[in-house]
Chain A
Amino acid sequence: MALVVVVRERGGAMGGRLGVHLIVRNEENRLPRCLDSVQGLADEIIVVDTGSTDRTVELARSRGAVVKAAPWTDSFADARNAGLPLASTEWILVLDADESVEGGADLLAEALDRADPQTNAFRVKMTHRIGDRAEDAVVSEAVRLFRAGRGFRYEGRIHEQLLVPGPDGSWECPAGENSPLRLIHTGYLPGELSRKETAQRNRRLLMLELGEKPGDPFLLYNLGVSYCQSGELAEAERAFVEALSKAPEKAPYRATLVRDTVKLWLAGSERNGERGTERRGRNGKGEAEWQRRNSGSGGQRRMYPDKAPDKVSDLERERARELARERAMGLLQAELPRYSDYAELHHLLGECLEEEGLLGEAFDSFAKACECGGGETGDYVAELGAGRFVSRASQARMALRLGAPQLAEELYRAALAECPSYRPAVSGWAEALSAIGVPDRDLRELLLARIGSEGSAADRLLVARALVRCGADEEAIGLLRELGAEELPASLIRAGRYREAMERLREQENAGGHLPALVQADAAIACWAEGVAPSEELLRGLPRDMRDDAAALTAALLGANPENSDLRGPGGLLDLRDLRDRALPARIMERMLELRLPRLAEKLAERIPNGEQTLAASLYRHGYALRAADRFIRLMSAGQLDEEGCFQLAEILCERGHYASAAALFERAAEKKGAWREARWGAAFCYLQLARQTAAEGAERFPEAEGLRSDLVKIDQAIGELNRIEWRTSRLPAARRNSHA
Chain B
Amino acid sequence: MLERARTITLCMIVKNEELQLPRCLDSVQGIVREIVVVDTGSTDETAAIARRYGAKVIEAPWKGDFAAARNEGVREARGDWILFLDADEALDAEKGPRLLELVQHDEYEGFFLQIHNYVGDGSQGATINPVLRLFRRRPEHLFEGRIHEQIAAAILRRQPGAAFHLTDVPIHHYGYRQEWVVAKDKIRRNAELLEEALRDEPNNAFYWYNIGVEYLRMNRAGDALDSFRRAKGLMDSDALSYAHLLCKYEVRCLQAMGRWEQALERLGEAERQFPEYTDLLQYRAACELALGRREDARRSLAKAMNLGPPPALYHTEEGIGTYRTAYALGLLNEEEGEIEEALNWYVEAIRGKPSLTPPLYRSFLLMRLSGRERRIGDWIRSRLREQSPDAFLKLLGILLRCRCGLAVLELLKRPEGRRLPRSLRLETETEARLQLGELTGAMRLLKPHGTEGRPELLEQLEWLERVEATGSGRKMEAGRSGGWRSPLVRYLAGSGMEDIGEAPWRQLQRLLEAAWASGRRAAFAALLERWDALLQHGLPVKGASRGKASEGTEALVRSLSSIADRHLAVLRKGAASKEGAALLPMERKLLSIRLKLPAEDGFR
Q: A residues within 8 Å of B by Cβ?
A: 323, 326, 329-330, 333-334, 352-353, 356-358, 361, 660, 664, 667, 670, 677, 680-681, 683-685, 687-688, 690-691, 694-695, 697-698, 701-702, 704-705, 707-708, 710-711, 714-715, 717-718, 721-722, 725
Contacts and interface: CB of A to CB of B under 8 A. Distances in A.
Contacts of A704: 550
A285 B535 CA distance: 46
Contacts of B592: 721
Given A691-B561, A694-B553, A695-B553, A664 B521 contact: yes
Contacts of B517: none
A258 to B, nearest CB: 16
A683 B570 CA distance: 11
Contact of B563 (A323, A352, A687): A687
The 4 A-B residue pairs with the shortest CB-CB distance, nearest first, are A698-B553, A691-B560, A687-B564, A702-B550
A707 B604 contact: yes
A691 B546 contact: no
B586 A698 contact: no
Contacts, number: 122
A532 B226 CA distance: 87
Interface string B548-566: 0110011011101101110
A333 B586 CA distance: 13
A701 B550 contact: yes
B48 interface: no
A715 B553 CA distance: 14
Which of the listed residues B550, B553, B557, B571 has the most CB atoms from chain A within 10 Å of its own CB?
B557
Contacts of A352: 585
B385 interface: no
Contacts of B597: 688, 714-715, 718
Nearest to A332: B585
Interface centre among A694, A698, A714 (most CB of B within 10 A): A694
A269 B526 CA distance: 47
A701 B532 CA distance: 14
A711 B586 contact: no
Contacts of B184: none
A715 B585 contact: no
Interface string B140-168: 00000000000000000000000000000
B554 A711 contact: yes
A711 B576 CA distance: 30
A361 B589 contact: yes
Contacts of A358: 585-586, 589
Interface of A is mostly: helix
Contacts of B521: 664, 667
SS class, residues of chain B in contact with chain A: helix
Contact of B557 (A326, A715, A725): A715
Contact of A707 (B525, B549, B554, B567): B554
B235 interface: no
A690 B549 CA distance: 17
Contacts of B564: 683-685, 687-688, 691, 718
A708 B553 contact: yes
A690 B570 CA distance: 20
- Give the one of B528, B550, B565 with max A CB within 10 A: B550
Contact of B553 (A333, A680, A697, A710): A697
Contacts of A702: 546, 549-550, 553
B598 A714 contact: yes
A330 B582 contact: yes
B448 to A, nearest CB: 33
A330 B584 contact: yes
A659 to B, nearest CB: 10
Contact of A329 (B558, B567, B584): B584
Given A330-B584, A687-B563, A702-B550, 20 more contacts: A329-B585, A333-B582, A353-B585, A356-B585, A358-B585, A660-B525, A684-B565, A687-B560, A688-B561, A694-B532, A695-B553, A695-B598, A701-B550, A701-B553, A707-B550, A707-B554, A710-B598, A711-B598, A715-B561, A718-B597
Interface centre among B561, B571, B604, by most chain A C-beta atoms within 10 angstroms, is B561
B553 A684 contact: no
A356 B586 CA distance: 7
B557 A694 contact: yes
